[in-house]
Amino acid sequence: MPVAVVRAEKFYTPAPPEPADAWALLPAALLVWRWYETRMGRRVVPPEDNVDDTYFARINQNRWLADCSSCGSAAVVSPADPRYACTECQWGWCALIFPSDVAAVEAGLMGLKPGLRNWWNDDDPNNPARTLSEAS
């Protein structure tokens, strides 16, 4: 059975002895903050404000990711909650752009080994294929 592309809901889970579903009611974008807080052993507070910025979600080695344009950090994200705020620099909430058909993008990668599953939005200015095609 093929391994599904990983989303925040499956990546950020509580460590034992907490039950695996202890964070099930948290929105996907807040899971990284809870996970980060428990791993770092200190309180971290998500930003309250939105920033006028959007990021393109991408798939990197079988995980949906968003990269922070402020500090370069990244986090696993989810199309179920298309927003991102950086746990490293606390850059405010940014809207995420996912493909219009997430399921089709994920299905298109299933023939590859999980570590080779990578996808970039064609409109993402950071897409390496776009950079190469613009250079030629």
Q: How confident is the model over 57-70, as a mean pLDDT?
A: 96
* pLDDT value of position 51: 85
Of 106, 67, 59, which is closest to residue 84 (Cα–Cα)? 67
Angstrom distance (rounded) from CA 134 to CA 96: 24
Q: Name the token pair of 28.
A: 């996907």
Q: What average pLDDT does the structure give for the chain?
A: 92
Q: Is the pLDDT of residue 2 over 80?
A: no
Residue 114 is given by DSSP the state: G
Q: Is the pLDDT of residue 9 over 70?
A: yes
Instruction: Work out the number of other CB atoms within 10 angstroms of the CB of residue 82.
Output: 19
- Which of helix, strand or coil describes residue 128? helix
* pLDDT value of position 69: 86
> How confident is the model over 101-129, as pLDDT tens digits?
999 999 999 999 999 999 999 999 999 98
The residue ranges of every structural domain in the chain are 8-135
